[in-house]
Structure 1
Amino acid sequence: VTLFCDTLEELQTLSAEIVNAAATEGVKMIGERVAAKAHYLSQHPGNQPKRVRASAVTNRNFADFAAFHRTQLGKPAALTPWGRVVTYLPTPEQSAYGFSYHEQGSPDKEPTSGHTLIMGRPGSGKSVLSAFLMTQARRAGARIFVFDYRLGMEMAVRANGGRYASLNAGQPTGLNPLWTETDARGTAWLSDWLATLLYRADKPLTPAQTNRIQEVVRQNAQATNPALRNWRDFASLFVSTDDGGDLHQRLLEWTEDGRYGWIFGQSLEDTFSLKGDVVGFDLTGILDSEADKERMAVLSYLFRRVEREIEDRRPTIIVIDEAWKALDNTYFAERLSNWLVTARKQNTVAVMMTQYASQLERTRTGKTIIEAVPTQILLPNIRAQPADYSMLNLTEKELDVLLNTGSNSRLALIRDDQGSIVVDADLSALGPNLTILGGMEKGEALVGADYRDRPDFWRLS
């Protein structure tokens, strides 16, 4: 114990107080005089041999001194399926946390699950954080597909050299599954998908109608003239079905002039391309549609197209904004669990964003998502209630971070297979690049409204 005092009297008084306090606890203190300078300097690195009164340290002493408390360091690159850490995030204790989407694994073995849920209220920065993480993942060679909402990630997609398109309700989409699903696996999927598409609760399909769908799908695949793979000609093949014209009438809704004709009926060749390292598409009009059948038709086929692309097992990230809207239908409720398993085996990570856990709780797929997602990134929300997080089974400390930290703190709670940790998700150090990742009006004000025509718009000079 080294004391610094202004006067000798003050030094003597304070020394006596310390000696008495130590004696109360059974500790004998010695006032050093001759070797005081050596004692003091021995505290500095490299001067340990200068100690005058060296004594042995018992195991109990060491246990008292070395608590081994430290912040998690995250997973090292060698223990991640992609062989590198996605990024490093600072912690409030000023250490570096190596973030990875995946559970602990190895680049030499089958990929572990990396499916991730990012949750935060509007304006909390979840889209910007997701854009930052996917951009960092490009260093691992990850391919990116973005199911976007309200153009939130368009600028980030384009800044990564990606392509971006919008699918709007009531306008031709360029999609046509009759054109693409013609091999053996494709016809099996198309038959199952059409049975769901044509289902009516008041009049379920009969076994004969289901068999007829399979027959016509095979005919479509075997057509020698690809121009016949359109929805009008496809519907005409059901005219002879012995069901009073029921199936034919249901198919007519999907032809060019039908109620849902804008989705598939106005395209012959499927012109919607998913080729490229970074591809994004805005689905606002689809996700906001009140017609569940429209959402199911578009989203299920887009997921099918992505499923085909990831068969090459290249590291891939699929970002789904407003996931509760995208996946809340019967089709996904029955298939999402298997789809997530398939995606994991194909070296693909699904990153799903939503505002509140209670939104997932009200959906048909919420439980599946929570059970299948090993990594959660939760942003504080002082407006939330403990009940809003009930399905996440948070601890009291985790709840305290989310409810009492403050929504503007830019902290984030990460939960994964190693436990939970609070990190500093403040990305303001990126400067103007943060504005580009955020896009929207602020992004356009920075780079100009014509940025879509300038691939290098993000290079600010």
Structure 2
Amino acid sequence: MLSLKPYRDTAAGLPDILNWGFVVDDGIVVNKDGSLLMGYEYSPPDMFAASPEEYNDLTARVNRALSRFGAGWAVWIDAIREPVESYPPRDASHFPDKISRMIDRERERQFRSQGTFYDTRHTIVFQWKPASKIGRRLQKFMYSNAGEDERAPGDLALMQFKRAMSQFEDAAGQVLGLARFGRYEIDDGYGRVQRRDSLVDHLYSTLTGEPASLNLPGFYLDALIGGRDFWTGETPKLGENYICSVALEGFPAESHPGILDLLDGLPMSTRWSSRFIFLDAREATSELEKYRKRWAFKIRDFKAQLLKIPNAPVNEDAVQMAAETSRARGHAEGGLVTYGYYTPVIVMIGPRWDDLEEQARLVVREVGRLGFAARIEAANAVEAWHGTLPGHAYPNVRRPLIHTLNLADLLPLSSVWAGKPFAPCPFYPPDSPPLLYAATGGTTPFRLNLHVDDLGHTLIFGPTGAGKSVLLATIAVQFLRYPGASVVAFDKGRSMLATVLAAGGQHFEINPNGDDGGASGMLCPLGDLSSESDVAWASEWVETCYRLQSNASCTPAQRNEIIRALNLLRDAGSRSITDFVTTVQDADVRDALKFYTLTHPMGPLLDGQADQLYGSAQFQVFEIGDLMEMGERAVIPTLLYLFRLFEKGLRGQPALLVLDEAWVMLGHPVFREKLRDWLKTLRKANCAVVIATQSLSDAQRSGMMDVLRESCPRVILLPNPEAAKDGIIEFYTQLGLNETEIQLVRQAERKREYYVTGPEGRRLIDLALGPVARAFVTVSDKPSVEAVKAMAARDREGWALHWLRQEGVRYDEYLD
């Protein structure tokens, strides 16, 4: 008879040491020991520039959320460093010209050459083990209503668990940005719907260090997740990967919020696990009383206590520790904090043990600088890793007690705000790349998006010479990555001339004198009267011109005459201002509009038979520096018509409107109202408005700061060495900056660093411009601008490459 005993191995496998059972509800796992698991992914704020008061408030709120838990509860809080794309793939961008592609490829090479970038994902998983049968019977005996609910114990436990988690969400959901793990469905490509759960995916990734999306099985999760070879010992190995763990043991004498934040910026793939096993007040006070007695026993030596010597020497340290333990006991009894056992471990998983060991030594050195004792686990390697898995509260318990306020200081409650990896605007093609990549601290790249959801309006403030023109030109040329994008910029000082001409765009000098590229009759404001709305706009424009010339509003009779004349022009072949003047029968209106005819100052600009200026290029820049010096009689009608042309060019494509030196517009009621209207309406047209100004005082006096702040969630601040001075600091305070942030703005490097703020976070970034980009976006001085104009006039197609060679920039590797 064949014996089967040799084939029946009784040794425990990996599934046997895993506690995970099966999914019992949406985002809830029941474990083999009867406990329940539920978790969240959370997005902590970027506390890089937070004041001490703000950080203390954050930890206090987290303490209040955690201190409500007691015996039977445990929590695993993980900060998972994962590699991220160092730059968007080329086929995700649609640059329409050679130079804008070259600039982006240069940036791509710069970022990819810096090695692997990492971002951090934060998770929190709670475990609750319901009371035993004896505990439930005692509860039923003590509380008369405890037995009224006839539901099964499992259903009652699940209900209590959900209620406790809902209370935690109410307390911490907003401050931590909680997103609960739960079920989701996917189509497998064969018409079948597969049900999955993100909590199960997370459990798998904590075990293996690999992302996954697993179909929910009809059997225990331990077999599904743990179906790999596992070797124990001092260098444990799971499948093809080794596991190396670093344990934090000795803590410094005092903690402060964010004391371990450096672990959230390590240049490697890690999982920083913080497990906390909660105790109720009775258990905590009992443990603390043991500590107090030990310290009290050390106040006088054994001989003095035995002989009851009254004046024996006193151990002052023991006195202090006994008193501190008594205070801790009072805190536990008062419910201000909850005590428990804290076990922090940093886990690294990879195919080469030598690499993991080197990374582990780096971790030990870094945390040692903070006053922590750390060691690479050897004999305890398996148990240390085992205890980091959510739902496994028994392995590797560290006995010293800490309370939840200390715990909040030690947890990863701050994260580098890296921006969204894709453009968040729902009107853009799905998975569109961010506007541009920039550098920030550590090994995390910054992805700059102007948009917050579908709103892309942006404010840019800063003094002269701080890098505003460089930033605007960079934003404009990088915006061309979106398919069909259009960029229109109103420039002052020709600082965008080199960029727009290099990118194949059009540069227009709005100059009625005919100098510097101005031409006779460039614009025809009354040229399009094809619809009733066109006639209404033209009538309003004529009324504005009349009001500017006469300092009086039109009478009803004059309005009727203006509309009559415009309707006559609808059927005419020519619709210039001169044609209107000869058609309108009101003498006052006729005399007022003569200022805009060819025989008068503004005629060379506005009295055209047809528009010769507004082109079809995706990138257009209007130089209005000379125009702005001519007074509002010239400025307002011209800009109103250019704005009209811009609005009619919006067809739903990604569009960007750049208003440089916007303080001029903020200073006039007509433009203030136009800007107010744009901020409300252009959002629906898929257009982002970028408003840049160097005059902080004019922005404050405009009366629009509240509207600007409400409509422009993205604010970018230029370096300003005088930011902390009286009269200026109030402006930054009005923008919501604290003292730390104001110092960042004051100390930032001009024309390189920028402070980006928004509802998602705040970060100091470096544009990291390469030689090719700098050769164009930094051209703003008059000699260089004139040189570019001359070179572009001689060779419209090839001047940009000649310019690069002249500037000594190597570009061959970035050509198509």
TM-score w.r.t. length of structure 1: 0.79
Task: Return the alpha-carbon distance in structure 1 between the equivalents of residues 541 and 698 of structure 2.
Answer: 27
Task: Return the alpha-carbon distance in structure 1 between the equivalents of residues 699 and 566 of structure 2.
Answer: 35
| AA in 1 matched with 2:436 | T
Write the deviation string for residues 247-303 of structure 1: whole angstroms up to 9, x where unpaired. 2221222222134323322x11221223111111211111222x1121101111000
Tell me what 2:277 maps to.
none
Write the deviation string for residues 325-358 of structure 1: whole angstroms up to 9, x where unpaired. 2453222222322222222111111112111321
Tell me what 1:235 maps to.
581
Tell me what 1:8 maps to.
none
Tell me what 1:350 maps to.
689
| AA in 2 matched with 1:206 | T
**What are the within-5 Å matches in structure 2 for residues 173-184 of structure 1?**
173-184=521-532
2:470 and 2:751 in contact (8 A); partners too: no
Alpha carbons of structure 1 residues 183 and 63: separation in structure 2 relative to 1, 3 Å: same
SS of residue in 1 equivalent to 2:598: coil
Tell me what 1:254 maps to.
596
Tell me what 2:481 maps to.
139
Mean CA deviation greater in 131-140 or 436-445: 436-445
SS of residue in 2 equivalent to 1:293: helix
Shift of 1:159: 1.6
Tell me what 2:422 maps to.
77
Task: Return the alpha-carbon distance in structure 1 between the equivalents of residues 675 and 378 of structure 2.
Answer: 65
SS of residue in 1 equivalent to 2:508: strand
Tell me what 1:304 maps to.
644
Task: Return the alpha-carbon distance in structure 2 between the equivalents of residues 299 and 101 of structure 1.
Answer: 25
Tell me what 2:619 maps to.
278
2:780 is equivalent to residue 434 of structure 1: no
Shift of 1:102: 0.5
In structure 2, list runs of 5 or more residues that go unmatched. Answer: 1-249, 255-294, 296-316, 323-356, 364-375, 385-395, 515-519, 805-809, 811-816
Mean CA deviation greater in 256-265 or 139-148: 256-265
| AA in 1 matched with 2:523 | L
**What are the within-5 Å matches in structure 2 for residues 1-40 of structure 1?**
none
Mean CA deviation greater in 183-192 or 164-173: 164-173
Shift of 1:219: 1.7
- Picking from 513, 521, 525, the partner of 1:170 is 513
SS of residue in 2 equivalent to 1:421: strand
| AA in 1 matched with 2:744 | V
Task: Return the alpha-carbon distance in structure 2 between the equivalents of residues 400 and 41 of structure 1.
Answer: 37
- Picking from 562, 566, 587, the partner of 1:217 is 566
Alpha carbons of structure 1 residues 66 and 157: separation in structure 2 relative to 1, 3 Å: same
In structure 1, list runs of 5 or more residues that go unmatched. Answer: 1-17, 27-39, 105-111
Task: Return the alpha-carbon distance in structure 1 between the equivalents of residues 779 and 467 of structure 2.
Answer: 12
Write the deviation string for residues 34-71 of structure 1: whole angstroms up to 9, x where unpaired. xxxxxx999569x7463279632589697564324221
SS of residue in 2 equivalent to 1:450: helix
Alpha carbons of structure 1 residues 117 and 139: separation in structure 2 relative to 1, 3 Å: same
SS of residue in 2 equivalent to 1:195: helix
Write the deviation string for residues 117-152 of structure 1: whole angstroms up to 9, x where unpaired. 222222211111121122222112321112111110
SS of residue in 2 equivalent to 1:215: helix
SS of residue in 2 equivalent to 1:91: coil
1:196 and 1:331 in contact (8 A); partners too: no
Alpha carbons of structure 1 residues 262 and 399: separation in structure 2 relative to 1, 3 Å: same
1:343 and 1:349 in contact (8 A); partners too: yes
SS of residue in 1 equivalent to 2:596: coil
| AA in 2 matched with 1:297 | P
Question: Which of structures 1 and 2 has the larger relative contact order (alpha carbons within 8 angstroms, sep 6+)?
Answer: 1
SS of residue in 2 equivalent to 1:80: coil
SS of residue in 1 equivalent to 2:683: helix
Shift of 1:378: 0.2
2:671 is equivalent to residue 329 of structure 1: no
Alpha carbons of structure 1 residues 211 and 143: separation in structure 2 relative to 1, 3 Å: same
User: What RMSD, in angstroms, separates the aligned Cα atoms of the two structures?
Assistant: 3.4
1:151 and 1:440 in contact (8 A); partners too: yes
Tell me what 2:217 maps to.
none
Shift of 1:162: 0.9
Task: Return the alpha-carbon distance in structure 2 between the equivalents of residues 444 and 293 of structure 1.
Answer: 29
Alpha carbons of structure 1 residues 390 and 217: separation in structure 2 relative to 1, 3 Å: farther
| AA in 1 matched with 2:612 | T
SS of residue in 1 equivalent to 2:800: coil
Alpha carbons of structure 1 residues 421 and 406: separation in structure 2 relative to 1, 3 Å: closer
SS of residue in 2 equivalent to 1:298: helix
Task: Return the alpha-carbon distance in structure 2 between the equivalents of residues 146 and 306 of structure 1.
Answer: 10
2:397 is equivalent to residue 56 of structure 1: yes
1:332 and 1:365 in contact (8 A); partners too: no
Task: Return the alpha-carbon distance in structure 1 between the equivalents of residues 251 and 672 of structure 2.
Answer: 71
| AA in 2 matched with 1:219 | L
Alpha carbons of structure 1 residues 456 and 48: separation in structure 2 relative to 1, 3 Å: farther
TM-score w.r.t. length of structure 2: 0.46
Shift of 1:221: 1.5
| AA in 2 matched with 1:331 | V
Task: Return the alpha-carbon distance in structure 2 between the equivalents of residues 218 and 445 of structure 1.
Answer: 45
